Chains A and B, each alone.
Chain A
Amino acid sequence: MSIALPALVVFIVLFPGIVVRSRIKLVEQASLDYSPFGQIIAEAVVWSAILHTVWIALMHVVTTRVFRPDLVLKLLGTDTTSQTRALDQVAARAYPVLLYFGSLTVAAYLGAYAFRRVVKAYRLDRLGSRFDWVFRFTKAPWYYLLSGADFDVDHVPDFIAVSAIVNIGGQPILFTGILGDFFLDKDGNLDRVVLKEVMRRPLSKDKDGEAEGPQLERFYPIEGDYFVLRYSEAITLNIEYIKLEISEHHAANDFDEGALAP
């Protein structure tokens, strides 16, 4: 009891900070947090200190209740008699205490989610922006490479073309397609990519740049909706950002079928 209670109190006090920190590191339900455990705890302590300071001030304004640090210190102490008395006083204020921690946890959860949405919407973590040193996931380079998050909002590409060389049966094969999804492993490294409109050809079927005519015949299209390529099996991976720029604009009845040829 004398050991478990202080540990429980510390966990409850730090819990809002842990919630904020974990939610801020989430992108599309995937955590981009690859920090060491010590760093996680240190950041959670800082977040908890900030949250409790703000919430205590807010509760004082809204409810006129006064924070009792002496009760917290007694709960964290080793004197069983003081702990028991402090517990009795906390129990007598059970509803306000529950309201405090409950509201703080909900605010931490929703606030962190809203914060990450704002960062993503305004691209505050974009490399080269004023506050990228604050908001950027420094340990998630694959996320920035494959999501387009580093592009200015006016120059965001439309899709990503991926080419990969894979050794199959001792022969290097070039796969090329459009990136649909990607997955990271627990260490933040690229695990696999999901491609669409995939074609393949032996690397030996390179043609001289002077060659004219359609190049599509050198490729074998892979039928199917998705093609999953493990990063560990790729010898090289090439990434290009492609944008669709308006070339011409016609009314529907003015359209010339003959203009389709490349």
Chain B
Amino acid sequence: MKALMSPLAKQVLADPQAREQVRAFLAHKSRLGDPTGAAPRVVVEVPCEGTKTKYKLVVVPKAA
């Protein structure tokens, strides 16, 4: 069964540089203390639009 993964997430994970940023984010989170400190930015180039967009990774609270 497919887990939750948006088209944007697939696009990010297809980019080697962005993938390293995601790994850095995961490593940054798994430490003692405040895990919500400055998170690394993941950069993804949006194709066919001539733009590059910077995204930041944010933890979403679980639906109540």
Contacts and interface: CB of A to CB of B under 8 A. Distances in A.
Interface of A: 27-28, 30, 126-128, 143, 146-148, 150-152, 155-161, 163, 174, 176-184, 193, 196-197, 199, 206-211, 214-216, 218-219, 221, 240-252, 255, 259-260, 262
Contacts of A221: 23
Nearest to A176: B26
A160 B26 contact: no
A174 B30 CA distance: 9
Interface in B21-52: 21-35, 38-45, 50-52
A184 B24 CA distance: 30
Contact of A242 (B2, B27, B58): B58
B3 A179 contact: yes
B59 A242 contact: yes
A28 B53 contact: no
A211 B33 CA distance: 9
Contacts of B3: 146-147, 159-160, 179-182, 193
Contact of B1 (A128, A181, A245, A259): A181
Interface of B: 1-6, 8-9, 12-13, 17, 19, 21-35, 38-45, 50-64
A247 B58 CA distance: 11
Nearest to A150: B63
Contacts of B32: 206-209
Nearest to B26: A176
A27 B1 contact: yes
Contacts of A255: 52
B1 A252 contact: no
A158 B8 contact: yes
Contact of B31 (A27, A196, A211, A244): A211
Given A152-B63, A244-B42, A215 B55 contact: no
Contact of A249 (B13, B53, B60, B61): B53
Per CB-CB distance, the 8 closest pairs between chain A and chain B, nearest first, are: A209-B33, A262-B40, A148-B4, A244-B55, A158-B9, A215-B27, A179-B3, A159-B9
21 contacts: A128-B64, A143-B1, A150-B62, A155-B60, A156-B6, A157-B4, A179-B4, A197-B26, A207-B31, A207-B32, A208-B31, A211-B31, A215-B28, A219-B27, A242-B60, A244-B8, A245-B56, A262-B24, A262-B28, A262-B40, A262-B41
